[in-house]
Amino acid sequence: MNQPHIFLDSGDPEETKQAKQLLGFLDGQTTNPSLVAKNPDVREYLAKGKKMTETELLAMYKEIVQAIRKEIDGSISIETYADWTTTAEEMLKQAQEMNTWIENAHIKFPTIPEGLKAANMFVQQGGQVNMTLVFDQEQAAAVYSATLNSQKTHFVSPFVGRWDDRGYQGLDLIENIVKMYVGFNEQLSKTTSHVKVLSASIRNLHHFYASIILGADILTVPLKVLKQWVEEGKKIPEPSYQTRMTGLQSLDYKEIAFNNDYQSYAVGKVDGSLLDEGLVKFSQDWKKLIQ
């Protein structure tokens, strides 16, 4: 069992410094609109009763990302704005601009039909993506296919904690996607996957430890959980570690056939779904900052 890469889930460069000091290393960082809204400089600005134009907000986001880059060399994920009405072309335009901010950026697109289309175009242009708001295997299968003809490494981000909130074993999604990707790789005679499984929405040390056991390549973790991990001596769990939590229903594995047409997978809007809920929340957090 290999130790996965550890990313910080934060929009605050000061937390980047703290995490790096705590761990002695930091492999990367993920950001999103909700985390940017929590950035101390942004909150101070808003506390004065001010809001920003979209141009000003993007300029501040750029400053935040560039400050993080001064602290770490690894991948930094930058998220495009999107709601259900945003077109692939609009997301692609944002991605192209964000990709100029720093080297080794992974641009985050929501795993919805237009987000997948934008990601597919961006990958063809040589970009790296982190596909976010992933809640089922169909989405993960579409990500695998949409990024297939690329020499770069991409990320798929299953959200563990959000499923727990609905009474299901969110960690099952990590296990199911890892298993599915192994099958896809074997079918295509690939020794390694071009898509790395990034365990997201990690709420506690159990999510952290179980994600390692279940084969996640990367864990993106809030600072408070990293502090708890350090307090436990940066323990790596034994293979016998119990990954299941009592009182939660299983997310059953689905046999999904590989298809090189990413649009063939059932990915779409379902009102009230975790995907709908997550996309609406991110867009609302972004809009709160804009005049």
Active-site residues, by number, are 108
What's CA 267's distance to the chain center, in Å?
17
> DSSP 3-state assignment of 261?
coil
Q: How far apart are CA 278 and CA 45, in angstroms?
A: 25
Residue 279 exposed, middle or buried by CB count within 10 Å (0-12, 13-18, 19+) = buried
CA dihedral 227, 163, 128, 256 (to 10 degrees): 140
Please state, in angstroms and rounded to a whole number, the distance separating the CA atoms of residues 144 and 259.
9
Tokens of 159: 């959200």
Which one-letter DSSP state was computed for residue 159?
B
Tokens found for residue 190: 């690939």
Block residue for tokens 């297939």:
148
Task: Note whether 220 and 198 are within 8 A (CB).
Answer: yes
Classified as helix, coil or strand, 249 is strand
131: tokens are 């596909």
Which value, in Å, is the radius of gyration of the alpha carbons in the chain? 18
Q: Which two tokens stand for residue 106?
A: 């992974």
